[in-house]
A and B are shown apart, each in its own frame.
Chain A
Amino acid sequence: KQEVTQIPAALSVPEGENLVLNCSFTDSAIYNLQWFRQDPGKGLTSLLLIQSSQREQTSGRLNASLDKSSGRSTLYIAASQPGDSATYLCAVRMNRDDKIIFGKGTRLHILP
Chain B
Amino acid sequence: NAGVTQTPKFRILKIGQSMTLQCTQDMNHNYMYWYRQDPGMGLKLIYYSVGAGITDKGEVPNGYNVSRSTTEDFPLRLELAAPSQTSVYFCASSSAEGPNQPQHFGDGTRLSIL
Contact = CB atoms under 8 A, between A and B. Distances in A.
Interface of A: 4, 9, 31-32, 34, 41-46, 49, 51, 89, 91, 93, 96-97, 99-100, 102-105
B29 interface: no
Contact of B103 (A31, A34, A41, A97): A34
6 contacts: A4-B42, A44-B103, A46-B102, A49-B100, A51-B100, A100-B33
Interface of B: 4, 33, 35, 40-45, 48, 50, 58-59, 90, 92, 99-108
A60 to B, nearest CB: 16
B63 to A, nearest CB: 18
A100 B105 contact: no
Nearest to A44: B105
B54 to A, nearest CB: 10
A66 B50 CA distance: 27
A4 B40 CA distance: 14
B106 A43 contact: yes
Nearest to A45: B105
Nearest to A102: B42
A97 B58 CA distance: 12
Contacts of B35: 102
Nearest to B3: A43
A43 B108 contact: yes
Given A102-B43, A104-B42, A32 B103 contact: no
B42 to A, nearest CB: 4
Contact of A99 (B48, B102, B105): B48
Given A9-B40, A43-B108, A102-B44, 13 more contacts: A32-B99, A32-B100, A34-B102, A34-B103, A44-B90, A44-B92, A46-B102, A46-B104, A49-B100, A49-B102, A99-B59, A100-B103, A104-B40
B107 A43 contact: yes
Closest 9 CB pairs of A and B: A43-B105, A46-B102, A102-B42, A44-B105, A104-B42, A102-B43, A43-B107, A99-B45, A96-B99
